[in-house]
Chain A
């Protein structure tokens, strides 16, 4: 085939350009650190990377949700524990008050302490997490429990102004957990703070009246019932906290897996890219060398 000057020039330019293009692609990958700089670099890989990104974003959100739920439940647990301590103290006082050897004035003193403990229970039942009340169901804006005192400042009734609503957080796809405790439920076996306080008010009244029969009979059994229900509620909170801790661990592991799977596709293997770059650079220099030798000589150089 007849070779002409323009042909040689065109072929040489084309080949040099191809080398340059490869070099540039590798350089772009090295400087951005990514294998995929635009969707056409790897369409299937792009789809998977985008899916991983979405999953990682959701995973992060779930971890945040789990942490928030854990905080809320810890606060609930503390409040219930405090109520439990108060009830325990009332029990001691009730047993003491049931002792026939006490005088009326002694029992008055006990009754006063029970008043304070009633207020303590209500305070704890009105606990808040941030600025939201945790034991009011969906009525998170105002204190769920209120005490009505008589003219002497002694509590007479405790009313509940919340509802039985659930607060649900999503901790994993389509998996929700109820993070609140319904503190005034009428279901058997659940705690009801207003009924609990009614029992405490009864105890105080019986102490004031020195009604030792009730004190050692119905009052004690009601109190024991209330304390058992409280323990069940705390157990439920504890179980949920355990579950959240497990879920957090699983979410963290999932995040590690997602991140590494994404990196397999998306991140550049630096060692390999640099090796490629060196190889291509050598090829380019070789091409330049050969080009210089082909383009220059012609018969003109050799004719006198």
Chain B
């Protein structure tokens, strides 16, 4: 025989359960637009059935159901999809950094417009042609030196902007700390600290037997952000704890919850190879003696694109060096004039020409300062010119013809051709990386959509559930009314 108020208990449990389910639905609706939110579901299960005891047998043929209970509030999340997302996101982070930086770098070169190095180089050689037609004219010499100064200034400018782009990516230790590498290392440590904080809370809640759903959502969001910076592998540990390792190196542990929630400090130090200007970054975790490789994510992006820029800079230096040595060697085999043509002074052939350029790399190349004030020292005359042969312009013509000679230090390319291939190289690199980035973005979006499909909130679904729970609540309330009536008959109207 069941107790008198047994039915009321069932109704009470139904009301509670429907109300809890409605609250969960309300929580879902409220967070429909929250990024990183996983929908929750109140799992309703029939509560423990009640066996009616009797003298004859301990177990009756029937067990009476005792109503409904919310067994747990489940968080709908697919951790496999999360791992996939983080993998693709790492690649995305890497490509994005490369693509963004290369787009900035290619605007430095300003070709094929009228402002690039190409027309400046052409103008420089045209000035030598003009000099070859009128070797003793001081205005033409001054104009030649002017176009040479423009050429050097353009080289210096491109070189310094490339250096700025490099410095923005990664600075050697002792730098101002405004570079991307330092910023990303700080981000990593920041995120790791936050995740660690969440970990310790989650462990506490889980050991108390509760379900820390929203904290888990926050942690997953932080892990997504971390995955953009580098390759991480997330393994689950007991009590919803996680271990985060970097790359595919199982001993590079950033965060763990094995004994308690711990986080290891992450650092990176950059050195530049003096031979070719490429970057060497040492990544270290506190407590792990060896440095980490295959970082992935933005870190690998930084290293990769820095090396790209270093190679462009090297090629520019090679070009400047070829210009420096070829023109200087021809210039020093020609002859200068003696005076600057001040009124009344006679101009005659002078001595052998000195250096035309000083500084042989793209950031140091400049016109010999004595030429700026003494344009007569431009060696236009051939070496066999007699003292009054001021019209001799064989050397000027020879220098002008350098424009189309194959130069051995440029692997047989002309000066023009070599520069054009530098710009084309940058263009292809940028185009290729933009394509990679766009493709990768599609992949990332696809996985994200799959995640959303599993964990996202669908308003229609929530509305439908809401109606279902509402009806359930109404029916349970009706049940209370009916039971109330029955009890009323029993108590007030019997006897």
A: which residues have CB within 8 A of B? 1-7, 10-11, 14, 36, 38-44, 46-47, 49-51, 53-54, 57-58, 60-61, 64-65, 68, 130, 132, 136-142, 161, 163, 165, 167-170, 173-174, 176, 266, 298-300, 303
Inter-subunit contact A38/B106 (CB<8 Å):
yes
Q: How far is the CA of A14 from the CA of B442 in the complex (A)?
A: 10
Q: How far is the CA of A53 from the CA of B119 in the complex (A)?
A: 7
Residues of B close to A5: CB separation below 8 A: 32-33, 456-459
Inter-subunit contact B458/A4 (CB<8 Å):
yes
Of the candidates B32, B389, B397, B423, which one forms a contact with A6 in the assembled complex, judged by CB atoms under 8 Å apart?
A: B32
Inter-subunit contact B430/A139 (CB<8 Å):
no
Closest to A51 in B: B420
Of the candidates B35, B417, B430, which one forms a contact with A39 in the assembled complex, judged by CB atoms under 8 Å apart?
A: B430
Closest to A173 in B: B404
Known A54-B416, A140-B136; judge A299-B390 contact (CB<8 A): no
Inter-subunit contact B112/A266 (CB<8 Å):
yes
Produce 1/0 per residue, B363-393, CB < 8 A to A: 0000000000000000000000110111111
Q: How many chain-B residues does the 8 Å CB contact rule pick out? A: 66
Residues of A close to B467: CB separation below 8 A: 303
Ordered by A's residue number, 21 sampled pairs between the chains whose C-beta atoms are within 8 Å are: A4-B457, A5-B457, A5-B459, A6-B456, A6-B457, A7-B449, A36-B112, A39-B109, A39-B111, A40-B106, A40-B430, A58-B122, A64-B130, A141-B391, A165-B391, A168-B393, A170-B400, A173-B404, A174-B401, A300-B459, A300-B463
Inter-subunit contact A39/B404 (CB<8 Å):
no
Inter-subunit contact A46/B453 (CB<8 Å):
no
Q: How far is the CA of A14 from the CA of B136 in the complex (A)?
A: 66
Of the candidates B132, B347, B392, B427, which one forms a contact with A169 in the assembled complex, judged by CB atoms under 8 Å apart?
A: B132
Residues of B close to A41: CB separation below 8 A: 427, 431
B: which residues have CB within 8 A of A? 32-33, 35, 102-103, 106-107, 109, 111-112, 118-119, 122-123, 125-126, 129-130, 132-134, 136, 346-347, 385-386, 388-394, 397, 400-401, 403-404, 416-417, 419-421, 423-428, 430-431, 434, 445, 448-449, 452-454, 456-460, 463-464, 467
Q: How far is the CA of A29 from the CA of B425 in the complex (A)?
A: 22
Q: How far is the CA of A4 from the CA of B450 in the complex (A)?
A: 10
Inter-subunit contact A141/B449 (CB<8 Å):
no
Inter-subunit contact B458/A53 (CB<8 Å):
no
Inter-subunit contact A2/B454 (CB<8 Å):
yes
Inter-subunit contact B122/A137 (CB<8 Å):
no
* Min CB–CB distance A66 → chain B (angstroms): 11
Residues of A close to B391: CB separation below 8 A: 132, 136-141, 165, 167
Of the candidates A50, A64, A138, which one forms a contact with B112 in the assembled complex, judged by CB atoms under 8 Å apart?
A: A50
Q: How far is the CA of A54 from the CA of B118 in the complex (A)?
A: 7
Q: How far is the CA of A68 from the CA of B126 in the complex (A)?
A: 14
Inter-subunit contact B427/A39 (CB<8 Å):
yes
Residues of A close to B426: CB separation below 8 A: 39-40
Inter-subunit contact B430/A61 (CB<8 Å):
no
* Min CB–CB distance B468 → chain A (angstroms): 12
* Min CB–CB distance B143 → chain A (angstroms): 13
Q: How far is the CA of A141 from the CA of B341 in the complex (A)?
A: 11
Known A7-B452, A57-B122, A139-B390; judge A50-B111 contact (CB<8 A): yes
Inter-subunit contact B460/A299 (CB<8 Å):
yes
Known A38-B427, A61-B129, A65-B133; judge A141-B390 contact (CB<8 A): yes
Inter-subunit contact B427/A298 (CB<8 Å):
no
* Min CB–CB distance A68 → chain B (angstroms): 5
Q: How far is the CA of A138 from the CA of B386 in the complex (A)?
A: 9
Residues of A close to B420: CB separation below 8 A: 47, 50-51, 54
Inter-subunit contact A47/B392 (CB<8 Å):
no
Residues of B close to A39: CB separation below 8 A: 106, 109, 111-112, 423-424, 426-427, 430
* Min CB–CB distance A263 → chain B (angstroms): 13
The listed residue with most A CB atoms (<10 A of its CB), out of B103, B123, B459, is: B459
Q: How far is the CA of A50 from the CA of B420 in the complex (A)?
A: 7
Inter-subunit contact A4/B452 (CB<8 Å):
yes
Inter-subunit contact A167/B393 (CB<8 Å):
yes
Q: How far is the CA of A139 from the CA of B423 in the complex (A)?
A: 45
Residues of A close to B425: CB separation below 8 A: 43
* Min CB–CB distance B209 → chain A (angstroms): 30
Of the candidates A46, A53, A136, which one forms a contact with B424 in the assembled complex, judged by CB atoms under 8 Å apart?
A: A46
Residues of A close to B404: CB separation below 8 A: 173-174
Q: How far is the CA of A167 from the CA of B382 in the complex (A)?
A: 11
Closest to B432 in A: A40
Inter-subunit contact A1/B453 (CB<8 Å):
yes
Residues of B close to A130: CB separation below 8 A: 134
Q: How far is the CA of A139 from the CA of B135 in the complex (A)?
A: 11
Inter-subunit contact A139/B388 (CB<8 Å):
yes
* Min CB–CB distance A116 → chain B (angstroms): 29
* Min CB–CB distance B311 → chain A (angstroms): 16
The listed residue with most A CB atoms (<10 A of its CB), out of B112, B123, B427, is: B112
Inter-subunit contact B32/A138 (CB<8 Å):
no
Known A43-B427, A43-B428; judge A163-B103 contact (CB<8 A): no
Inter-subunit contact A46/B423 (CB<8 Å):
yes
Q: How far is the CA of A298 from the CA of B459 in the complex (A)?
A: 7
Inter-subunit contact A40/B452 (CB<8 Å):
no
The listed residue with most B CB atoms (<10 A of its CB), out of A3, A36, A39, A65, is: A39
Inter-subunit contact B133/A47 (CB<8 Å):
no
Residues of B close to A2: CB separation below 8 A: 453-454, 456, 458
Q: How far is the CA of A41 from the CA of B403 in the complex (A)?
A: 27
Q: How far is the CA of A68 from the CA of B132 in the complex (A)?
A: 12
Closest to A303 in B: B463
Residues of B close to A50: CB separation below 8 A: 111-112, 118, 416, 419-420, 423
Residues of A close to B386: CB separation below 8 A: 138, 163
Known A47-B420, A53-B118, A54-B416; judge A170-B132 contact (CB<8 A): yes
CB-CB nearest 6 A-B residue pairs: A39-B427, A4-B456, A138-B389, A140-B391, A43-B427, A40-B430
The listed residue with most A CB atoms (<10 A of its CB), out of B118, B417, B427, is: B427
Residues of B close to A43: CB separation below 8 A: 424-425, 427-428, 431
Of the candidates A6, A36, A42, A47, which one forms a contact with B421 in the assembled complex, judged by CB atoms under 8 Å apart?
A: A47
Closest to B464 in A: A299
Inter-subunit contact B427/A40 (CB<8 Å):
yes
Known A5-B458, A38-B427, A40-B103; judge A165-B389 contact (CB<8 A): yes
Q: How far is the CA of A58 from the CA of B119 in the complex (A)?
A: 10
Residues of A close to B346: CB separation below 8 A: 141-142
Inter-subunit contact B400/A53 (CB<8 Å):
no
Inter-subunit contact B401/A3 (CB<8 Å):
no
* Min CB–CB distance A271 → chain B (angstroms): 23
Residues of A close to B421: CB separation below 8 A: 47
* Min CB–CB distance B121 → chain A (angstroms): 8
Inter-subunit contact B112/A163 (CB<8 Å):
no
Residues of A close to B424: CB separation below 8 A: 39, 43-44, 46-47
